[in-house]
Copies of this chain bind each other. A is one copy, B any other.
Amino acid sequence: MKAHTEYLTFHTKKRRELVRLTPTLDAILAKSGIVDGFMLVSAMHITAAVFVNDDESGLHEDIWEWLEKLAPFKREYEHHRTGEDNGDAHLKSMLVHHEVTVPITEGRLDLGPWQQVFYAEFDGQRDKRLIVKALGI
């Protein structure tokens, strides 16, 4: 049994941004030598998320509009008594979830034909970390 861990750092130009991770995850898996198991991809911050869906720009616009509707940016969060203004980013992170587990089969990420892994930044423009850990045979 093997375990392989890497940390990625993102510093997005915009406050909110999607970053496609799949090519980077493919490269990490190749280095790990793991052929069968799981890869955990997990944001280490509480104002970001990781999800699997389509790499289609129209859908990404829909996702942002939808997130803004369900967990809107606004001044009136109690969290803002701390001086922060990112209450919406915490709720968006809970809604989307901060992690995914991707299956590894025959040395490849075992994703469906349209599945891409994305990092979703909800409060960027500063360094944010993410952990990738593969575990298996």
A→B interface (CB under 8 Å) = 1, 3, 5, 36-38, 40, 42-46, 51-54, 56-59, 61-63, 66, 70-71, 77-82, 87, 90-91, 93-103, 105, 110-115, 129, 131, 133, 135-137
Q: Evaluate whether A53 and B94 lie within 8 angstroms (CB atoms) in the complex, with A37-B3, A133-B105, A137-B1 already known.
A: yes
Please name all residues of chain B whose beta carbon is closer than 8 Å to the beta carbon of A111 when the two chains form the complex: 44
Give the number of copies in the complex.
3
> Would you call B99 and A78 a contact (CB within 8 A)?
no
In the assembled complex, the Cα of A113 lies from the Cα of B127 at a distance in Å of 13
Given that A40-B101, A99-B100 are known contacts, is A115 also in contact with B70, CB under 8 Å in the complex? no
Inter-chain contacts of A133 with B (CB < 8 A): 38, 103, 105, 110
Cα–Cα distance between A65 and B70 once the two chains are bound (Å): 12
B residues in contact with A101, CB < 8 Å: 40, 42, 99, 101
Known: A51-B94, A58-B78, A98-B52. A5 touches B46 (CB 8 A): no
